[in-house]
Amino acid sequence: MIYDAIELEFRITESQELGCLYQMTISKLGTRTSMSLSFTNRINSPGNTRLLNVVRSLPVLLLLGDIFGVFICLAIAHWLRLGEPLYLLDPLVCGFALLVLTGLYLADAYHPETQIVGLRAPYRILLGMVVVALFTSALIYLSGAWWNNTLTARGVLLLALVIFTIWAVMLRVMAVKWLRSHARQSNWLILGADENAIQLVQKLLALNPLGRLFVLAEPGQDMHQIADSRINYLGPLSDLSVWNQKSLSAVILASHIKFSESQLQQLMQMRLQGIPIYRLSDFYESLWYKIPSSILQKKWLTFSAGFNLMSSSFSMRIKRFGDIILTSILLVILFPIMLLTALLIKLDSPGSVFYSQIRTGQNGQTFRVYKFRSMYENAEKQGAKWAEKRDARITRVGYWLRLTRIDELPQIWNVLRGDMSLIGPRPERPEFDVQLKEAIPYYELRYLVKPGITGWAQVLYPYGASVEDAYEKLAYDLYYIKNYSIWLDLAIAFKTIRVILLGKGR
């Protein structure tokens, strides 16, 4: 399951696919050839071994390296301490290995190129292994296994953990060097120079400053708006034939361009050479796991693959059945924490323990959502407004409740009632919905499914309380609705655990 969660961060479903597939209809009339080309997602596009594949395969390769490394380090430590080979299928050995891998996942060690709370991957690994060592020591002491097992009595596990920490850090150092070497070789050809293209260029420059960007603009488009010293080439779309034989990581259709027949042939040749060609929405979906509503068209919504949850009553019943079973189990497990939370709220500030609001649910139907009170009594007597990061209305206990998401636990009752699901888009207040529908295209699509306690947007996007934040979160919600699967829900569940422990996202 740890493997699934890590792999799903980069390859969520089989329908989320890299590359693009040309569906070609070729009819020859004399010397003329007419071609109809459409772009749809495809997994592992032939010949696509470029940067996107490297980025997506890196966590899986790191996981495989960690699995191999933890057993090798255990075997080495066992030999050094006891002078005999290790039985790798020992339940204690397997349990310790699983605990180490869980520690690495929770420390987000499978994204070695990123910083979290200012900590790079080596420091996160070190911190994670210290926590694993403390947790393992506590388990050994409480279970009494320290005196009747050679693995625990002779310090084998501790020595193995020290050796593995060095292994894991070195593995990440080499992985980052490998990633950067591929980034230096990446070449992105962007077709179009409208507003969407400008935003894409800015994102790519921030994401991959080592790569090279080439932009071809349509006639009439102002190329000065997209001009940047970091763009390696900026020219007209008529230069497309020049790039036919170039080594490109991908071609991105950033604008809605009407290609000529010769340009379509050139794009087909690029595709058949193994160069993936993306529509803008597909590229966002593949690289950033979101679908910005501003770039969508009704044609895309009509013909795009996915959105199977709404059309499959079986999937919806399975999801509902899972919600009931899991929330019942969570209610039993978390009941002591909920009692303690209620006591802390009463001791911290006057007022009721619970707080309720009207929220928008599936198909726009409103319902009353329940939460632990995290603000002072009558905090909204002057009307509803967005919450802020350092909101003076939030109590001392409420700050920690929001940080750990414990304030959301009473929504278990909403899930059992059928108003919500465990996983789905965050339910918004009707007062804000009116404003957001006017400002954000296709905003109402988020209510095609039941809202959730946690979701794809909540675990991937930081806390936000503005129209701009709502726009970004909708992009993640659309990705979830389009690519829903039980594996995506599983990935969100694992990410939620990590978000709670690290205190990020919302």
The predicted-structure confidence for 366-422, as pLDDT tens digits, reads as follows 999 999 998 888 766 666 666 666 677 888 998 888 888 899 999 999 999 999 999
Q: Tell me what pLDDT residue 404 has.
A: 85
If you write DSSP's letter for every residue of 121-146 in order, what string do you get? HHHHHHHHHHHHHHHHHHHHHHHTTT
pLDDT of residue 320: 93
* Domain residue extents for the chain: 2-50+186-288, 54-182, 310-502
Q: Which residues contact 445 (CB under 8 A, 6 or more apart)?
A: 293, 474, 477, 478, 481
Alpha-helix runs per DSSP H in 383-446: 396-404, 411-417, 430-439
User: Can you list the pairs that 60-66 forms with residues at least 24 positions away whose Cβ atoms lie under 8 Å?
Assistant: 60/3, 60/6, 60/7, 60/10, 61/175, 62/109, 62/110, 62/112, 62/171, 62/172, 62/175, 63/2, 63/3, 63/6, 63/7, 63/101, 63/110, 65/171, 66/100, 66/101, 66/104, 66/168, 66/171
pLDDT value, residue 244: 80
Phi then psi dihedrals of residue 371, to 5 deg: -145, 160
The per-residue pLDDT for 341 is 94
Residue 16: predicted pLDDT: 36
Identify the pLDDT of residue 38.
34
Which residue type, as a one-letter code, is found at position 58? L
Over the chain (506 residues), the average pLDDT of each successive run of 10 is 41 36 33 33 36 79 95 93 86 91 91 76 91 89 71 83 95 89 83 84 74 83 68 85 84 86 91 88 88 83 78 84 94 94 92 92 94 83 66 86 89 95 94 91 92 93 81 94 91 88 63
CA 145 distance to own-chain centroid: 39
The fold for domain 2-50+186-288 equals Rossmann fold (3.40.50)
Can you give 277-296 as a three-state secondary structure string? EEEHHHHHHHHHCCCCHHHC
